[in-house]
Amino acid sequence: MNTIQIKNNGGGQTTVAASDLEEFQSGFRGDLFHAGTHGYDTIRKIWNGMFDRKPGLVARCVGTSDVIRAVNFGRENDLEMSVKGGGHNSAGTAVTDGGLMIDLSLMRRVTVNRQAKTARVDGGCLLGDVDYETQLHGLAVSAGIVSHTGVGGLALGGGFGWISRKYGLSVDNMISAEVVTAEGAVVTASATENPDLFWGIRGGGGNFGIVTAFEFRCAEIGTEVYSGLIVKDFSNAREYMRFHRDYVRGLPDEMTVWMVARHAPPLPFLPETVHGKMVVIVPFVWLGDPAEGAKLIKPIQEKTETLGEGLGMHPWVGWQSGFDGLVDHGARNYWKSHHLKDLSDPCIDEIIEFAGRLPSEECEVFIPHMEGAPSRVAEGETAFAHRNLPFVLNIHTRWREVADDEKCLQWARNFHESTQPFAQGVYVNFLSQEGEDRIKEAYTDAVWHRLVDVKNKWDPQNRFHMNQNIKPG
């Protein structure tokens, strides 16, 4: 191994001697990668193809002791450190350009306690890993909707999906976490041990340490759910959206109905003439008796023209990975998002105006309905904030060619700005790199001040700053 240059926290380069790297590698069970090492170009890749960063060194850990060793190496050499869980964050924070990337992608063990209905989940797990193991027992952890998303980033920021209206967010189901601190210590964060840290990691992201394992409460949902997609013609989108905003807010928590405006994918139940056409897709999941679910969904089927639908009992694992292909790795992505106070008529008008001119085939306007169990947790109970807002507007801009960057970025920014009057706050996991003021908007003032206190205590040197950063203050 030769001497290598690694970016330090001052922005300069630190020369790391071969003997220091050898010392790091000895006893480290995982692998070290740097430019020229076999596998380096694969391991540095993340979901968002906009980021082609080259870490000076990657430490691919296989256990907690490896993570401690990597953090100590980073701190002792004052290296810029980033942490890669599933590598899914659209802001690209998992990968440092030149520094030390601590990669958790081999730490993917899930252990289910059937009696207690809990799961211990390693910090590098993907959502699919968790479903795979919990579903053996008909259990599920409340989390997101794409199986290749990482649990680490998702659960530290909030974590919502098809069952969160009924069972709460991932942060609401977190019982404890094993955390490696900036000082290289391993601590437990729970309601009784280090409760300030436990509060902070339930919404404050990776600012306070590296979570090597989570313990979650599981929900008993069985292995199949009544679920499906109803596809509406976009030409009636205004009328449908006005109906949808009121209808879904009156539904029981067992029913989750969202809305996606996009070009129709070639879904098997859609006539070929509809493929590629602008549509509003209405996906839903019902946690209950299918016949009752079918009744609840009827008004949605009947409101405006339905172009096709695929409904029925679906295996949970299949449903959870059913959308994976639409958001696979490598495309260029730019996300803008905010919570919506409501879906007022003028807000719907703006949505339709921008959705009507998507800058690429793969863009989508995604509007989940959030109310339910998460809104019944008091604001301030966890660092995750804005629990009472009914909808999220997610502008998923996605394209393939560099030449389309400007057009796509501009569309997303204009769309976001035009819906700002109807918005309040943002989900931290949907932020792009938008600056500190915007990060603050993910939290209330009271939560932000408390997050700074937690940061001051657990990471006063801001070693963990490759994230939606809460600076010590």
Ligand X SMILES: Cc1cc2nc3c(=O)[nH]c(=O)nc-3n(C[C@H](O)[C@H](O)[C@H](O)COP(=O)(O)OP(=O)(O)OC[C@H]3O[C@@H](n4cnc5c(N)ncnc54)[C@H](O)[C@@H]3O)c2cc1C
Q: Which of 74, 98, 205, 322 binds ligand X (CB under 6 A)?
A: 205
Under rule CB under 6 A, residue 93 binds ligand X: yes
Q: Which of 6, 16, 68, 104 binds ligand X (CB under 6 A)?
A: 104
Measured from the CB atom, is 156 or 230 closer to ligand X?
A: 156
Measured from the CB atom, is 197 or 237 closer to ligand X?
A: 197
Under rule CB under 6 A, residue 181 binds ligand X: no
Angle between helices 290-302 and 237-249 (to 10 degrees): 150
Measured from the CB atom, is 19 or 456 closer to ligand X?
A: 456
Query: Which range binds ligand X by CB under 6 A, 69-77, 80-88, 252-260, 417-425?
Result: 80-88
DSSP secondary structure code for residue 5 in this structure: E
Rounded distance between C-alpha atoms, residue 102 and residue 60, angstroms:
6
Under rule CB under 6 A, residue 83 binds ligand X: yes
Under rule CB under 6 A, residue 265 binds ligand X: no
Measured from the CB atom, is 88 or 339 closer to ligand X?
A: 88
Under rule CB under 6 A, residue 156 binds ligand X: yes
Under rule CB under 6 A, residue 211 binds ligand X: yes
Under rule CB under 6 A, residue 210 binds ligand X: yes
Residues 6+ apart with CB under 8 A from 246: none
Q: Which residues pair with 228 in a beta bridge?
A: 284, 311
Under rule CB under 6 A, residue 149 binds ligand X: yes
CA–CA distances in Å: residue 72 to residues 19, 59, 65, 175, 240? 16, 12, 11, 27, 55
Under rule CB under 6 A, residue 369 binds ligand X: no
Under rule CB under 6 A, residue 128 binds ligand X: no
List the interface residues with ligand X, window 316-355 (CB under 6 A).
327
Measured from the CB atom, is 49 or 315 closer to ligand X?
A: 49
Q: Which of 30, 56, 74, 87 binds ligand X (CB under 6 A)?
A: 87
CA–CA distances in Å: residue 228 to residues 18, 156, 231? 56, 29, 10
Q: How far is the CB of 421 from ligand X (least distance, A)?
A: 25
Q: Which residues pair with 333 in a beta bridge?
A: 398
Q: How far is the CB of 376 from ligand X (least distance, A)?
A: 18
Collapsing DSSP to helix, strand or coil, 127 comes out as helix
Under rule CB under 6 A, residue 158 binds ligand X: yes
Residue 394 C-beta-side C-alpha neighbours within 13 Å? 24
How crowded is residue 23: how many other Cβ atoms within 10 Å of its Cβ? Answer: 12
Q: Which of 56, 153, 200, 283 binds ligand X (CB under 6 A)?
A: 153
List the interface residues with ligand X, window 410-439 (CB under 6 A).
429
Query: Which range binds ligand X by CB under 6 A, 19-27, 28-36, 155-163, 383-391?
Result: 155-163
Residues of the chain by 3-state class (helix, strand, coil), percent to 5: 35, 25, 40
Q: How far is the CB of 177 from ligand X (least distance, A)?
A: 9
Q: Buried (b) or exposed (e) across 191-216, using 16+ Cβ within 10 A?
A: eeebeebbbbbbbbbbbbbbbbbbbb
Tokens at 413, concatenated: 């920014």
CB 466 within 8 A of CB 101: no
Rounded distance between C-alpha atoms, residue 64 and residue 464, angstroms:
17
Q: How far is the CB of 345 from ligand X (least distance, A)?
A: 28
Under rule CB under 6 A, residue 466 binds ligand X: yes
> How many chain residues bind ligand X (CB under 6 A)?
37
CA–CA distances in Å: residue 163 to residues 86, 110, 150, 288, 346? 21, 20, 17, 12, 30
Binding site residues, ligand X, CB under 6 A: 46-47, 82-90, 93-94, 104, 123, 144-146, 149-150, 152-154, 156-161, 205-206, 210-211, 327, 429, 466-467
